[in-house]
Every structure is written in C-alpha cells, then in structure tokens.
Structure 1
Amino acid sequence: MTFDLPLMLDLLGVFFFAVSGCLLAARKGFDLVGSVLLGSMVGLGGGVVRDIILDQGPPAAFTNQLYLVPPVAAALLVYFTVKNVKRSGRPLFMFDAGGLALFCITGTLKALEAGMNPVASILLGVTTAVGGGILRDITANDVPKVFDPKDLYAIPAFAGAALATVLWHVGWLNLATGTVAAVVVFAFRLLSLRYGWHAPLAARSWAARRPRRS
C-alpha cells in the first residue's frame, strides 16, 4: 500500500467537519441517524461540489468507500463522549475551524493540479472549505456562518487558499508548508471568534446609528 497524503488530509478534513455537524445535531436534539446524515453533509458537501466543478468523473465521496468512514466515526465519537450538549459550542467551533483550514488547502491544491488558474483555484478552495458548512447550517435551520456579519468565515479560507497557491507556484508546497498554512487558517479563525473580528457591512449606513426623531 502507498501512502496517499492528499487523500489522508482530505479524510481528516471530512472527519473534522463531520464532528462539527454531529455536535450541532446533538445540540439540536437530532437522533443518531440524523447525526450521521448531518455529519456526512458537512463533511462531504464541499468536496462533492469541488469534484463536480472540476468535472473529473464522479465525486470521490461516491467512488471511494473510505470517505464514508469519517462521518460514521464522528457520529459515534459524539454519541459516546458528549455528555452536555450545551457545552459543545467550543468544540464545534474548533472542529469546524480545523475542517475549514484543511479543506481550503486541499481544495486549492486539487484545483491547481487539475490545471486551473490561480484565481479560480483560490475560489474553488474557498468553495470547498465553506460549502459543507453552508449545507450544515441551512439543514439545521441556522444562519450560515459565511453570511453572519459578526463572524469571519470565508476570509480565513481565502487567506489559506491564497497562501497555498503562492506556495505551490514557487514550488514550496509540501507537507510541512501545507501544515503551516492550515495552522495559520485555524489560528486566524479561532482568533476572529475570540476577539470578535468581522468584515465591514455591505452598506456603511447600516452600521451608523440613526438619530431619534423628536
């Protein structure tokens, strides 16, 4: 057997995202089947969108049975370890940040290796990173984090995808530098949550306080 590093990183990203989906399922009171399905949706959704856009045959999630293991493992992990779902918010954010960090790197790398230009590769890396989270939040009847004005979600993914693209073009993208890029995205995401960083609103006037009418 040969060690397939991109596949291992992809599966690890699936697992991290799947855990975030299963934790959300627990907080919402879903049953175990719902937990597996929500974990599968968030873990595999971004990769499926990526592979469809690349048009290289059926998505890997439907051709490689290994992709089914992380969501099931995540559901069982949450089922047997989480004792207080009200306190699962922080682990949810951490696993979500881990999945975001890994997927923005692996998605960008797969796009670059498929011959896409740098800008398109960055966009596809971000799409891979945020796609599953959007499906998860919509299914759980939450506002997707990528659209939350009080949260930075896509920007860390853009930073990671851009960094991976630069490293790939200068020939420096390897296990060590890719890991560093993922850690940067992970730290960026958690720091944004810790300190309340957010992007400017779509219209500047929305942030201004309107004077009261006398």
Structure 2
Amino acid sequence: MPSDLYTPHLQHTLDIIGIFVFAISGGLLAVRKNFDIFGIAVLAQVTALGGGVLRDVLIGAVPPAAFTDMWFFFTPLVAAALVFFLHPEVERINKAVQFFDAAGLGLFCVTGTIKAYAYGLGLVPSAALGVATAAGGGVVRDVLANQVPSLLRWDEIYAVPAMVGATLVALLIRFDEFNATTGTLSAVVAFVLRLLAIRFEWRAPRAWHRSSAAKESDA
C-alpha cells in the first residue's frame, strides 16, 4: 500500500527534519540580506513550508499539513531563533545556506514523492511533485530576498539533484524496492549531487548558439 512506504511516524520525522534544515537556510539568507528578526522568521517559514503547501494543495491534502500540525508551524520559528542568536560570521553564511538548502532538497524530494504517491498519483506526477516540494520553498525564499531563484539560474544546478532523487524513489516504488534505507539513500544522492554541483561549479546548458555577451546581473 502507498501509505506503508514509510510509517506515519517516520514520514513525520523526516518532514520535521526537512522543515528544520530548510528553515535554517532561509533564516541564514535573511541574515545575509540584513533582515530584521521578523524578516528572518518569515524567510525561515516560507522556505520550510512553501513547497509542502504547494504539494498538499495540488494533491488535495487540504488544509495543508503546515496549518494543521503545530510541529510544522513552530519548527521554523525555532530554527529562526537559533539563526538569530547563533549564526556564524557573515563571510561563512553563504556556505551554510547552501549546505542546509542541499540537505532540505534531498529530504523533501523523497518525502514529497512519497506523499504524492500515497494520495493516488502515478509515479511520474509523484516525482514531479517531489521536485516541486523540494524546490518550491527555495523559490519563494529567493523571490522575497530579491534575488533570482536558484531554480532558474543557468549557473546553478539546483533542480537536477531533486529530479534525480525523486526519480530514484519512483523507480524504487515501481520495482517494489522502496524502504526506509533505500529512501534515505535517495535523499543522500540528491544531497551529494547538489553539493558536488556547488563545489565543482557545474553549469546547465543555455540556449543553443547563444551569442549575447551581455553580463547577467548578480543576485
């Protein structure tokens, strides 16, 4: 049964972990942008919950879990408080944002795919919603922080790791090999791919024979 892919307790635990690490990345970006405490809390909330709310609305899981589970609501606030008091030096914040964002990306591409499949979607749309769950909060975060979303930047490999992780989950379900171990490994694969893309500055291809020499504005 789809609902047995993860036990409810394990699914909830993974969601909370994903929410926490995404909230940390949102809060750290707010610090880098010199936001006040309210801005830190808002960016932590939307980063952590944005993708999950989008997924839940699309699959008909309403009201979304973000509004019915107090753990979902308060976890980002705890993360925001930690960032407010304990954030590292400014020059180290960007690396921390990228690390926690990659961790959230890996976790949410797995849990998002599982939840969509549990609500009766096919494997392909479930994987697509896994990607949306992983990337949606980051898009909202970047828009509110007045920078081009990582999802749309040619010099960022962002969606591809989430697509790989979600596809692995879909294939594991298809061949009846999905369990807590293989699901966790799928999240780790997405996480590591994202970190490798950052470390080695992997780039996505742009328009064929693009001849413009105009510089892209930096966020």
Shift of 1:111: 0.9
Rg bigger for which structure?
1
Pair 1:116-2:121 in alignment: yes
Provide Cα deviations, 1:134-187, integer angstroms capped at 9, x if missing partner: 000000001100001001000111000000011112222111111111110010
SS at match of 1:200: coil
> 1:157: which partner in 2?
162
> 1:130: which partner in 2?
135
- The counterpart of 1:198, out of the listed 191, 203, 206, is 203
One-letter amino acid of the structure 1 residue matched with residue 43 of structure 2: L
Q: Matched residues in 2 for 1:71 and 1:21: separation?
A: 9
Shift of 1:56: 2.4
SS at match of 2:13: helix
> 2:51: which partner in 1?
46
- The counterpart of 2:178, out of the listed 173, 178, 187, is 173
SS at match of 1:88: helix
Q: Matched residues in 2 for 1:81 and 1:137: separation?
A: 22
Q: Matched residues in 2 for 1:42 and 1:137: separation?
A: 9
With structure 1 as the length reference, what TM-score do the two structures score?
A: 0.93
One-letter amino acid of the structure 1 residue matched with residue 18 of structure 2: G
Pair 1:30-2:35 in alignment: yes
Please give the root-mean-square deviation of Cα atoms over the aligned residues, in Å.
1.6
Q: Matched residues in 2 for 1:106 and 1:3: separation?
A: 11
Task: Say if 1:199 and 1:56 are closer, same or farther in 2 by CA, change over 3 A.
Answer: same
> 1:98: which partner in 2?
103
Q: Matched residues in 2 for 1:98 and 1:207: separation?
A: 36
Shift of 1:82: 1.5
* Matched positions, count: 208
Pair 1:59-2:64 in alignment: yes
Shift of 1:83: 3.9
Shift of 1:200: 1.0
**Identity level (%):** 45
Q: Matched residues in 2 for 1:56 and 1:99: separation?
A: 21
One-letter amino acid of the structure 2 residue matched with residue 92 of structure 1: V
Shift of 1:208: 7.7
Stretches of 4+ aligned residues off by more than 3 angstroms: 207-210
